[in-house]
Amino acid sequence: MWIHLSEVLSAEGKEKTYTCEIGFNAFQTGNGSYPVTEKSPVSLKIVNLGEKRLLLSGRCSLTLSIPCDRCLEEVPQKFDIPFEREIDMNQTEEERIEDLDEQPYIVGFQLDVDRFVETELFLHMPMKVLCSDDCKGICDRCGANLNRETCGCSQEPKDPRMAAILDIFHSAADQ
């Protein structure tokens, strides 16, 4: 959804509130695309601070499905992000991008709400997602999900140096 900012910009102290549906169904990052499994409308307030500066505040909540770092099972990850950002409309688009190092969510006198939410999400993405703290992961030899099954190879040492020694031992035994 796009919001026209010209009305709020027309007078200092002017403010408007909006409720906006989130328009995207998947969140793209450099690491992958995560489906949005639940979302609530974004509540957004825009206040004219004077001198062509705007204050954007509000809250967005949504749930993304993100694979567990260890076993790759999809994990629902809930985000509830309060935000407050000042926007200087005196800046050109290029200056703003350089300043914030982010995708432009202001184009001309319009605010791209989806882009804005994506920008907030980027800042709140967890470094690591686990289905549970004691997730056993997948076997690095046969790919079995060790939370659900035990495979034969899980008995062997995990230490790669030990594994290499064992491999030599096995191939020597084969000859």
131 binds Zn ion (CB under 5 A): yes
Residue range at the interface with Zn ion (CB under 5 A); choices 59-67, 82-90, 121-129, 135-143: 135-143
Residue 50 to residue 1: CA distance in whole angstroms: 25
Among 107, 142, 165, 166, binds Zn ion (CB under 5 A): 142
CA contacts within 13 A on the Cβ side of 97:
9
Q: What are phi and psi of 48, to 5 degrees?
A: -85, 110
Minimum CB distance to Zn ion, residue 70 (Å): 5
Q: Which is nearer to Zn ion, 75 or 125 (CB)?
A: 75
9 binds Zn ion (CB under 5 A): no
Residue range at the interface with Zn ion (CB under 5 A); choices 41-49, 80-88, 127-135, 157-165: 127-135
Q: Which is nearer to Zn ion, 72 or 107 (CB)?
A: 72
Give the count of residues interacting with Zn ion (CB under 5 A): 11
129 binds Zn ion (CB under 5 A): no
Among 71, 87, 113, 129, binds Zn ion (CB under 5 A): 71
139 binds Zn ion (CB under 5 A): yes
153 binds Zn ion (CB under 5 A): yes
Q: State the residues that interact with Zn ion by CB under 5 A.
A: 68, 70-71, 131, 135, 139, 141-142, 144, 151, 153
